Amino acid sequence: MMFRLGWGILVCLFLALAAGCYHLRLEPATLPVQRAVTARAAADVFDRVRDVLVQDGYAVERAERRDNGEGGVITCGYRHFSTRAGGISQPVGGRLYYHRLMITVNGGEEGAEILMESTGLEIRSSYVYEEGGAVRSFAKRYPYEQYPGMFDLKAVDRELARVRGMLEAALRQGER
């Protein structure tokens, strides 16, 4: 009886520790979207958002205005926004979170809505090993769609909230 209880406790302890390594997600969850609203015209907001993203270090790959001039979509290139390091299961250097930021500006002359979302979410890790007396390394990418259990989506929330705050501050500054 005590033997089984001991094994049961050991298995429960192992599962509790293993749960700390992964987020026990088998299917990709819907990624969070941040939203901001302003009274400024959508055309002005679109230009200001693009400029602020570039100043923050995002590489704007595509900025497509709508034909009617009421907003558009801004797509940025991959950018590192968070590092998760430490623990037994983490590679040296940690897990580097990368994403492509997509901003959609909707509205007209009376005001604009800004939607911020993370697309192309992935983790990049580097590994070092010894083979035949030589030290070798390789890098691996883990796309969110294929490895959803590896991702801590709180990091995505924090980055989108940071971008929202930065854009709201820039738009408030321009209203004065």
The per-residue pLDDT for range 73-89, each reduced to its tens digit, is 999 999 999 988 766 66
Q: Domains in the chain, start-ordered, CATH in brackets?
A: 33-175 (3.30.530.50)
Beta strands in 109-153 (DSSP E): 111-131, 134-143
pLDDT digits (tens, 9 = 90+) for 104-123: 999 988 899 999 999 999 99
**Whole-prediction pTM value?**
0.78
CA 23, CA 153: separation in Å to the nearest integer? 9
What mean pLDDT value characterizes the chain? 86
